[in-house]
Structure 1
């Protein structure tokens, strides 16, 4: 039993890395100790591999190694080293002539252009010197037309990033620091000069131009009264969505549809896989070599990647593309894979590339939802398998089964993200399951696929592209009408208190315990492991219930006292 290989080795390593990232954020600057842990743990792992007869394999060493690696990965953001010419040393001073290159796509909204500028030089008192660092720039006015890669100059002050100092408010300073942005500037359009248009980074500039053309195409030909929503679903531009409509989506529990994430990418991958599987099944070469599904997997990643690039590859979209890519690769190699391990691998790759992602709301919500869906469905279908054995599946039974599965996906996604939604948004939709049941099929399987298909047709057949975009707009209008209807219900959503981290942990422990309490079937013999899991679930359920009782008493005696607490700023 000791030497038995752990069935899901990536999960404890991922948890250890995440703990190291959180510890590195809370206690930064101890890099010497972290490097010592890495070298020690790495050396012990190497010895255990070389001297197998003498040293037993111990999983503690990899846990320590990944904890230290997580700590080191986050240090460039939590304990950065600024050179003497970094822009942070010139904030809150006099005006400077700033020269730099636009480092991301320009956000245009209400006669303003916002972008991240990678600073190259600063000029003060007619003295020019090289500088490094990134600043957030806001240009008032529509001219000059700026785009990614442009080299510009303007004169303005560099202001330091500050928080609003509201107790418990959003930490904007840390949010921008995780983007490596440590200053902000404001300039009028008349003071901005375009030195040169980008000649390098051809790929990124081409993608940016394509996004602008698609946005213009949607503006002229489709979307009806909801062009802002269609732009958000196709090219990831949410600036034109009215706040009232955003609130309606959130009250209905379908606000996640406005941000391109795992749901959108997953639907595109599924639709593409079905289409390519059907096409390749008509070729004998693929049938004889059993390459129908493999070929469909490879081809399915093309529209997935194209959709991700077209939508701007926002952080949530990047994570979704990586996650879907990992799932497709696992399917391609025809290995018997565990979905939990695959999900953990996707999360680990994302955190290695960008460790601050673990603090992102979208990262937490995405992986909490997918984890809850995978684990919940696994438990439900293991119990359901006993009843389905030996039963013939009719068409009606198949439809009921698919409908039930769709309901379970929405159910587990909602309960898996419930405490995080309460923590960040203080609002919970009471009709979320019902609303997702109606809205997700319309937007996911009609609006987005037909909209994307019209985009692909636009360069070669404009008339057909306009027709498909019209279909997408009509379906979107129906979906938005349903959203408005549901959000107007008086019981659609309720405001909630902000749960503590202790309460969130108790909630997830209770969910795990409830899913593992019941025995699968009396007729099925239990293994030692499953019996231990069920007993542990019972114990934890009792402990969590007692903890909740104590927490309720705390609420009644501390939180809900009739005192007014004032914060003077």
Structure 2
């Protein structure tokens, strides 16, 4: 008999304590590795003394697991690397490396990305041994690289850095989980040389990669988009999936069908177990001598592991594979009915192997959705059976069909509600019809197309005709599911854009969900419902009220490492997004639109009243388009240029369809003031006596405090810009990084002496400039954190975000 209370399921509190230890440094509660290990040893000694006296102490055990989690985070996020690790190689100049391709190449807008296991590098004294893995970013290559190929490349290394904006993605921690601590870029395709390699030098991956190549060649015979979908489902290659298809899957909440996750592996395990069990039941002799169900469970392990290897063994696939294998192990041990302990054990095993997996979205969505299924589905499905069928399984085909559909609908709703806050926080897009679309798409993709496709690959080495037959049969459900998803994505309000919820709002949502559907209805559950509603509605209303009643001007400059991007909040809550890109050629330096849009969602901005493009180039046009697509628009201002780029014309067409006013600043001046803030523009002509053209400088004047934003521009424009003379005088000046040290900057100080200079970029030489010889201005660099200037009744103030 199990003990009562928490000891009945010891794995659950122990896993939660371990997770708490991993998350503590993120919450600001951190100890050094030595302190964590020392405290853990003392706790272990105390546990030994308590155990010696014949007692159990759950509290000390939880503390021990918390300390183990804390030490694991420190050990994996900041490991001690050998001195010959690639992250210690020179990063200020191009160097030559030799290594083996460790991960298949993935296409990107300006070329390819692949991972290289480094073997050696060319130092001034000759070739030296080196270790570590590098993601290599290359321009377009004539021939892609394959796993196992040995390459020599001349690259420039860069340390892994985060964008220092509130709410930004932690790229350093994400790559640390993959044991990557530096990146490399290839300037020219000629800097990459393929070395001779034998299959033996490829290691154990050779046969697997050869079979994956054969599978890819076999799938090449299928027409699009069936080929792209089957490549994603079977071998984990999503490179051929078009943006239109991705958008359709995202808008209908079915994007998880494109990834090889727990859903697909679980379906393979279920189909394999059912098939093996059916075959074993054909023999009465076996049924009398062996446990057919356990033998079938052992047999299901082989397809699960094989599918994981065939899919490329990505971290998300490995995590899902471990989760399924742990559950199959519990089935063999006859402990699978305790679902909470099974889920806790799977999470604990995964996090012990890779502690930083806790912070990946795939891990969070998988376990939260399964937890939602375990907690919510029993509360809904039995009630449907009791209401319709008096708790009995109905008889007759149609009644059984309704019964199964009801259970499937309960599962879909439970998973959707459980993951809703995470989906909103990660994608800022919540599908409206996702429950219904998944109800149709999951059986078509996972239960029909996937098993038939894998069966085709199993038969491929034996009979091509049999493989063709199965892949043809699997194409029908695949194409049918895609048709359903494409049609649903076009329905009105198929997806709703939401800002990133705060921690308080996420806690309030789960409190409300648990209180509405408790294990047992008690008075405190109604109090939980009321508290959840008050916290959820109150937090949203409070933010809106504070925004409408603000009387301050606040301008935040983001760390965008290229384009100049600002969010200005004017008195009364009017929002103005200002963007300016540098003149570039080609697509290799296009901006990262998700930085600006992600920050706006994090700040819970729902409407942009003025989207202002001071200079529209290939560097910032994607940002302008992304902001217009994801937020409600008031007006669009631009400098008047016509950028020959498809994204620019897509932006103009979309604004026209939505009837958003567009203001050409070269022709029509903006309003002189907005909410008490004076607006002044500075635009010059590139030809004497010609009309204004080119980039526009923006000045905001509020309560006699002037803030000037200078966009990137060519040298000739910058020189003409100085003709405005003393009218440029401002207390705060935003300038591009390339302006510093130029003749333009020296001349500019003859017209103004700003108190604060905000440079969009990094300080030269790797150290901040704190004082210029001609001014006592305070210098801030956005690469060190987003900078916010505020003008209130008490005056001008400035602060810098510190992650």
TM-score normalised by length of structure 2: 0.65
Contact 1:114 1:137 in 2 (8 A): yes
Q: Quick check: 324-333 or 509-518, which moved more?
A: 509-518
3-state DSSP class of the match of 1:157?
A: strand
Aligned-residue offset at 1:46: 2.3
Partner residue in 1 for 2:204 = 203
After superposition, the C-alpha distances for 1:190-238 in whole angstroms (9 at most, x for unaligned) are: 3323253452564323222211211111012x25433111110111111
Q: Quick check: 395-404 or 57-66, which moved more?
A: 395-404
Q: Which protein has the larger Cα radius of gyration, Structure 1 or Structure 2?
A: 2
Partner residue in 2 for 1:411 = 413
Contact 2:385 2:392 in 1 (8 A): no
Q: Given the alignment of the two structures, is residue 216 of structure 1 paired with residue 217 of structure 2, yes or no?
A: yes
Aligned-residue offset at 1:557: 1.6
Partner Cα separation in structure 1 for residue 546 and residue 256 of structure 2: 34
Q: Which has the higher strand share?
A: 2
- Between the two proteins, the alignment pairs up a number of residues equal to 551
Taking a change above 3 Å as real, the CA distance of residues 28 and 466 of structure 1, as seen in their structure-2 partners, is same
After superposition, the C-alpha distances for 1:491-512 in whole angstroms (9 at most, x for unaligned) are: 1111111101111111112111
Structure 1 segment 171-210 matched on structure 2, within 5 A: 171-187=170-186, 188-191=188-191, 192-197=193-198, 199=200, 202-210=203-211
Structure 1 segment 156-305 matched on structure 2, within 5 A: 156-164=155-163, 167-187=166-186, 188-191=188-191, 192-197=193-198, 199=200, 202-220=203-221, 222-305=222-305
Contact 2:31 2:70 in 1 (8 A): no
3-state DSSP class of the match of 1:146?
A: coil
Unmatched runs of 5 consecutive residues or more in structure 2: 549-571, 579-733, 735-759, 761-803
3-state DSSP class of the match of 1:103?
A: strand
Match of 1:504 among 503, 506, 516: 506
Partner residue in 2 for 1:393 = 394
Partner residue in 2 for 1:147 = 146
Q: Quick check: 204-213 or 143-152, which moved more?
A: 143-152
Contact 1:144 1:189 in 2 (8 A): no
CA RMSD across the alignment: 2.6
After superposition, the C-alpha distances for 1:170-195 in whole angstroms (9 at most, x for unaligned) are: 33333223322222223344332325
Aligned-residue offset at 1:274: 1.4
Taking a change above 3 Å as real, the CA distance of residues 408 and 463 of structure 1, as seen in their structure-2 partners, is same
Contact 1:223 1:469 in 2 (8 A): no
Q: Given the alignment of the two structures, is residue 546 of structure 1 paired with residue 537 of structure 2, yes or no?
A: no
Contact 1:229 1:258 in 2 (8 A): yes
Aligned-residue offset at 1:261: 0.7
Contact 2:385 2:393 in 1 (8 A): no
Higher RCO structure (Cα 8 Å, ≥6 apart): 1
3-state DSSP class of the match of 1:435?
A: helix
TM-score normalised by length of structure 1: 0.90
Unmatched runs of 5 consecutive residues or more in structure 1: 520-533
Partner Cα separation in structure 2 for residue 115 and residue 498 of structure 1: 31
Contact 1:429 1:494 in 2 (8 A): yes
Taking a change above 3 Å as real, the CA distance of residues 91 and 410 of structure 1, as seen in their structure-2 partners, is farther
Taking a change above 3 Å as real, the CA distance of residues 239 and 74 of structure 1, as seen in their structure-2 partners, is same
Taking a change above 3 Å as real, the CA distance of residues 68 and 223 of structure 1, as seen in their structure-2 partners, is farther
Q: Which has the higher helix share?
A: 1
Taking a change above 3 Å as real, the CA distance of residues 311 and 223 of structure 1, as seen in their structure-2 partners, is farther
After superposition, the C-alpha distances for 1:276-313 in whole angstroms (9 at most, x for unaligned) are: 11110011233113512111111111111111111112
Q: Quick check: 425-434 or 378-387, which moved more?
A: 378-387
Contact 1:457 1:465 in 2 (8 A): yes
Partner Cα separation in structure 2 for residue 559 and residue 417 of structure 1: 29
Aligned-residue offset at 1:69: 0.7
3-state DSSP class of the match of 1:408?
A: helix
Q: Quick check: 535-544 or 377-386, which moved more?
A: 377-386
Partner Cα separation in structure 1 for residue 230 and residue 336 of structure 2: 39
Taking a change above 3 Å as real, the CA distance of residues 11 and 512 of structure 1, as seen in their structure-2 partners, is same
Partner residue in 1 for 2:700 = none
Partner Cα separation in structure 2 for residue 306 and residue 258 of structure 1: 18
Taking a change above 3 Å as real, the CA distance of residues 552 and 193 of structure 1, as seen in their structure-2 partners, is closer
Contact 2:327 2:336 in 1 (8 A): no
Partner Cα separation in structure 2 for residue 378 and residue 43 of structure 1: 42
Contact 1:3 1:57 in 2 (8 A): no
Partner residue in 2 for 1:312 = 312
Structure 1 segment 28-39 matched on structure 2, within 5 A: 30-39=32-41
Match of 1:475 among 461, 474, 477: 477
3-state DSSP class of the match of 2:507?
A: helix
Aligned-residue offset at 1:58: 1.6
Structure 1 segment 515-554 matched on structure 2, within 5 A: 515-516=517-518, 519=521, 534-554=522-542
Contact 2:381 2:406 in 1 (8 A): no
